[in-house]
Structure 1
């Protein structure tokens, strides 16, 4: 991992709020950032999958990076989602993100064209050499159609620019083996909320989370309790929040998270096509699950 700043702790893959006519809602974005700052998360990921990055223009992405970095204190890091399936375009966006002041870059394994291991290595190497800030490799087979082995991940992590991995295969065996193989090269973060606690036990160093859009303090408290040896307390938070995590993926992310945030008056329930708002039955289930989960977390002192 060298001398590059480490990427660890709780990062929120923040939603991008839109007005009803599809424009970025900057006032709501500030509210979201304020909630994250209050919860003392370690960082936010802007224009990731949860941020509906495929529907955002380059200008919109850069404006979001600048706004987040200007709004948040330096103690909360800003990671920009700049990956894609064209290396040249990823490099250009990565440079713009760096110029906007972000602290690190989230770079997904290129979807659709599915490069070989050598192609992936060259892709990350080219992006890393074009910027001065660290890269977090994003491994998400369910969205890219490409599943890497622990050996593949360790090989790419041998690049000095790749200092972290968001591992979202939901395969704890793969995660554990990859951490073991690359433990001196990169920090591994869970990319699946429901595996966060197990991955901490397997040597993981954090999470890039969806549920922290709506209950950021819970994962901050889970992390703190685990790190001070209170595994029972961490498990209690995990068990309390797990039903809500499941509900957040009943329909395509970030629809459910946006519905809950809208029900709290923080944002409008608006997504860009081809994503749409959740169905009424899902909305009812989300409301009930959120309130029940929130009460259990309050009883555990996990929201304070």
Structure 2
């Protein structure tokens, strides 16, 4: 159901931290015209821990109106409380999202059986197709391939965003799953290798900044054109690094602001990018052909 270059969209905010829905509409329109396959609203890059259920509903409805059927809209509905994840997924279903991206329960450190039951409940009761999201570097919890294979048998689970870097994990997932789930990279720096090893797409931070380049790289890798993919990825490599000089989404919001697409708003406990990183991030923008407007 899902593949290609999918953007983990930043959440535009005014300087006081309130949502900037006009800018959100502009971002969705920007990506609809740039080859992006889908947008994720209120994922990690969208500051999901600081977004309320009511705001999620408003953002999804705004994004869907702006998309006007041109691009799929996926909702980030993960939580470390199963009942809350179900509730957020229901909010997204009522708003009209195409699917729910559900991160593993962070901080709790559930067992593999706990993870299985968590996702089973969200798929059964949430009302949307579910994309599993495994990012152990943030959650202290690793959804193992063998558990993913069990979850592939659950009705309504359609894919996984896998953010364990490298190709060993995608190879193991493909071996266990065949074509039962869409395999999406969650690590921009190794996404090309993930795709060449059999992945279907990427849910990307870098695509916020260089959507056309990311789309081109992803399509080349998916269609078995490694030289073309490598050439495009070389232009993106600086962004893959620079957008993580501080915790995501601090750097990417600074870049998208200096592209003239959003304002400066970000919510505590996140803070604006430290000026010590400005030159490095601007150089990565230049290498990727991204215009710095202010």
Does the alignment reach a TM-score above 0.5?
A: yes
Q: Residue 105 of structure 1 contacts residue 135 of structure 1 at CA under 8 Å; is this kept in 2? A: yes
Range with greater deviation from structure 2 (38-47 or 216-225): 216-225
Q: Where does structure 2 lack aligned partners over 5 or more consecutive residues?
A: none
1:288 matched to 2:248: no
- Specify which of 253, 259, 274 is matched with residue 258 of structure 1: 253
- Specify which of 125, 129, 137 is matched with residue 130 of structure 1: 125
- Distance (whole Å) between structure 2 residues aligned to residue 229 and residue 184 of structure 1: 17
Q: Residue 120 of structure 1 contacts residue 156 of structure 1 at CA under 8 Å; is this kept in 2? A: no
- Distance (whole Å) between structure 1 residues aligned to residue 229 and residue 250 of structure 2: 27
1:141 matched to 2:136: yes
Range with greater deviation from structure 2 (128-137 or 88-97): 128-137
1:267 matched to 2:262: yes
Q: Residue 83 of structure 1 contacts residue 107 of structure 1 at CA under 8 Å; is this kept in 2? A: yes
Instruction: Map residues 129-278 of structure 1 onto 2, 5 A cutoff.
Output: 129-278=124-273
Aligned residue for 1:197, secondary structure, equals helix
> 1:258: Cα distance to partner?
0.9
Matched with 2:54 is: 59
- Distance (whole Å) between structure 1 residues aligned to residue 143 and residue 102 of structure 2: 15
Matched with 2:38 is: 43
Q: Residue 31 of structure 2 contacts residue 211 of structure 2 at CA under 8 Å; is this kept in 1? A: yes
> 1:26: Cα distance to partner?
1.4
Matched with 1:299 is: none
Matched with 2:13 is: 18
TM-score by length of structure 1 reads: 0.92
Q: Residue 170 of structure 2 contacts residue 198 of structure 2 at CA under 8 Å; is this kept in 1? A: no
Count of residues in Structure 1 that have an aligned counterpart in Structure 2: 290
1:79 matched to 2:85: no
> 1:148: Cα distance to partner?
2.9
- Specify which of 94, 100, 110 is matched with residue 115 of structure 1: 110
- Distance (whole Å) between structure 1 residues aligned to residue 145 and residue 24 of structure 2: 36
> 1:43: Cα distance to partner?
0.3
Q: Residue 8 of structure 2 contacts residue 46 of structure 2 at CA under 8 Å; is this kept in 1? A: yes
Please list every run of at least 4 consecutive aligned residues from structure 1 whose deviation after the TM superposition is greater than 4 angstroms.
none
Aligned residue for 1:69, secondary structure, equals helix
- Distance (whole Å) between structure 1 residues aligned to residue 246 and residue 198 of structure 2: 30
Range with greater deviation from structure 2 (30-39 or 70-79): 70-79
CA RMSD of the aligned region, Å?
1.4
- Distance (whole Å) between structure 2 residues aligned to residue 85 and residue 289 of structure 1: 35
> 1:228: Cα distance to partner?
4.1
Aligned residue for 2:109, secondary structure, equals coil
- Specify which of 28, 34, 53 is matched with residue 29 of structure 2: 34
TM-score by length of structure 2 reads: 0.95
Range with greater deviation from structure 2 (184-193 or 137-146): 184-193
Q: Residue 196 of structure 2 contacts residue 222 of structure 2 at CA under 8 Å; is this kept in 1? A: no
1:91 matched to 2:69: no
- Distance (whole Å) between structure 1 residues aligned to residue 91 and residue 223 of structure 2: 39
Aligned residue for 2:30, secondary structure, equals helix
CA pair 148-130 structure 1, distance change in 2 beyond 3 A: closer
Q: Where does structure 1 lack aligned partners over 5 or more consecutive residues?
A: 1-5, 296-304
